[in-house]
Structure 1
Amino acid sequence: MGAATPRGAGAAPAGAGPGGTRPAAVVRTWLYVPGDRPERFGKALACGADAVVVDLEDAVAPVRKAAARDAVVDFLDRGHRRPVYVRVNPPGRGGEEDLAALRGTRVSGVRIPKCERPEQVAEAARLLPGVPLVPLVETALGVERAHALATGHAMVSGLAFGEADLAAELGTGHRDVLDAAAHRVLLAAAAARLPRPPLSVFPAVRDLDGLAEDCVRGRERGFFGRSVVHPAQVDVVNSVFAPRAGEVDAARRLVEGVERAGADGTGAWLDEDGNLVDAAALRQARAVLDTFSGAS
């Protein structure tokens, strides 16, 4: 197995795959493209999404799975400046074959759908060593085991939540129910010191106002970025999850002020307006800088 990067402050950014491709510091949009539509791969890379997710699972009919896998491997072998992830098929349903085929390619990372057991994560890491893994939490059992999945292997670089499959399993798409499950995934990622999870796909592709409203709501709840299924959604999501006016500068000034106070031997931390800054505010400011480092 390739060397695993420990999670935490020194962890490599998600997507530092064997081909050397690294995503931007901020991944706001994860654009899905069907794995059996190679004519769309280049267009997906050019539409402004921070990362492309080539899909070998739901978007591909069973009779086209093998052809899609070959097309994706050929695409990855060319190398690309933007990060390219692959959503493989679920464990036990073709996922192992997908992972074996991706070995040695320039894939930036892999999304593991309907992930429910840490052993599935460990097996993915064995089949595709050194590549960041993102368990997709899409079932009730997956939600219950979200933290175990997040800590299932050192190459887990994040969690993602899938609403559609969970809603089908539960027999309800009620917002309260899905929010409760999504928050479990959010807490599991935070407890494992992983990045904040992206929001699930917004299925009403033409409702861009509704998409923007839902993204604002998701950002306020602690999520960051979103999986999207159409290029028209990319700019909306990128805009909502861009740093707000003055947000980064304010966070930088706060951190610098605390550092100066510490260097001067001052025990009290005051912001530029003379207000006391507590440890929680300092952590939040540093999180802003970590999140938006290098953001455009």
Structure 2
Amino acid sequence: MSVPPLRSTSRLRERVRARRGECTTPAASLAPRPPDVHLLLAPDSPEAAREAVRSGVDAVVLDLYGDDGSGQDLAMAWACARTVQIARAGAGRSRSPQLRLRVNPAGTAACEDELAQLAGMCEGLILPEVRSADDVQWVAKRAPAVRIVPVIENAEGLSRAASISSHPAVSRLGYSAAGFTRRARRAGEAGTEAVGLLLSAEVRQWQRGIMIAAAVAAGLPGPVNGIGTARAKAGLDAYAEDAAPARSAGFTGQCANSPAQLARLSRLWGPAAAPPPHREAG
């Protein structure tokens, strides 16, 4: 008995989406080239936003989410976003940086306000603490024209990376080792064992491997590494040590939260150093 040839996962996915009445054009195809170096900024200084545009980064990310549960002044955030728009228009660069917003988690009142007031000003959204494709859908319903980078930073999201990455609004995945670290420490305080294992470099690389597989299966570019908070304080060595294994794993983007980190990260993640895009067989 002959065995029928296997069909590619991408073709099967397109047929499923067509039956659901979903958009069958991958969101990633809308961007000719994904950003490589992202700079996270607290949205509290239009002058800092202006300088970020001049710094040569690929994406300026205004960080609206306080990991402690606090939000940002949306009027000031709007002023920073508008400053980025004006600075890009006058920069005269062949490729101006994208403007992205790191919003509050899906389902929160803060996220709903941010999307209503600011989503129309940016090219992309960084969505933290994603646990399932339902979180992506919640945001996509409220900002249907904006591409989304869901950040994998918890066990629920990692276990569902394939379904999250296949959502049509997703342009690429994001990864935050710091998010896993925070949750591991909280678990340790509650008496859970093996906290040290969750913080190890080997496990971080294993987590990245799962995300790479999900991105390849969905036909997405490599994920973005190091999406944390603009308020975190990490030295140049710490960022470089985390960025190098991410790039070797197949990630194609890296976040910085200080202009002082940009020169070193750009040498690692710049266009000339970027790894080739992943391709699906068949």
What TM-score, normalized by structure 2, do the two folds share?
Answer: 0.72
* Contact 2:36-2:254 within 8 A present in 1 as well: yes
Going from structure 1 to structure 2, the CA distance change for 1:146 and 1:79 (only over 3 Å counts) comes to farther
Question: What residue ranges of structure 2 are gaps of 5+ in the alignment?
Answer: 1-21, 89-95, 186-194
1:208-223 equivalence runs, <5 A: 208=237, 211-223=239-251
Corresponding residue of 2:70: 62
Could you report, residue by residue, the CA deviation over 1:26-67 in whole angstroms, capped at 9, with x for unpaired residues?
A: 522010000233331111111121111110002797264444
93-102 vs 157-166, which moves further: 93-102
Letter in 1 for 2:172: G
Larger radius of gyration: 1
* Alpha-carbon spacing, 1:149–1:185, altered in 2? closer, same or farther (3 Å): same
Per the alignment, residue 148 of structure 2 pairs with 133
Aligned residue for 1:11, secondary structure, equals helix
Structure 1: runs of 5+ lacking an equivalent? 15-24, 248-283, 291-296
Match of 1:112 in 2: 127
Q: Cα–Cα, structure 1 residues 212 and 124, in superposed 2: closer, same or farther, change >3 Å? A: same
Partner of 2:9: none
Q: Distance in 1 between matches of 2:58 and 2:220?
A: 18
The residue number in structure 1 matching 2:29 is 11
Q: What's the offset of the Cα at 1:194?
A: 0.6
Could you report, residue by residue, the CA deviation over 1:154-199 in whole angstroms, capped at 9, with x for unpaired residues?
2210100011121121234221222222222221111111100122
Which of 263, 273, 280 is equivalent to 1:235?
263
Q: Confirm whether residue 169 of structure 1 aligns to residue 187 of structure 2.
A: no
What is the match of residue 171 of structure 2? 157
The alpha-carbon distance between structure 1 residues 170 and 204, as it changes in their structure 2 partners (threshold 3 A), is: same
Contact in 1 for aligned 2:36/2:58 (Cα 8 Å): yes
Find the aligned partners of 1:243 and 1:41 in 2 and give their Cα distance: 23
Cα distance in 1, alignment partners of residues 113 and 183 from structure 2:
26
Tell me if the contact between 1:121 and 1:149 (Cα under 8 Å) persists in the aligned partners. Answer: yes
Secondary structure at 2:225 match in 1 = coil
Q: Which has the higher helix share?
A: 2
SS state at 1:62 partner: coil
Question: What is the CA RMSD across the aligned residues, in angstroms?
Answer: 3.1
SS state at 2:117 partner = helix
TM-score (norm 1): 0.69
Q: Equivalences for 1:4-43 in 2 at 5 Å?
A: 6-7=25-26, 11-13=29-31, 25=33, 27-43=35-51
Give the 3-state SS of the residue equivalent to 2:180 in structure 1. helix
Indicate how the Cα distance of structure 1 residues 58 and 85 shifts in structure 2: closer, same or farther if over 3 A, else same: same
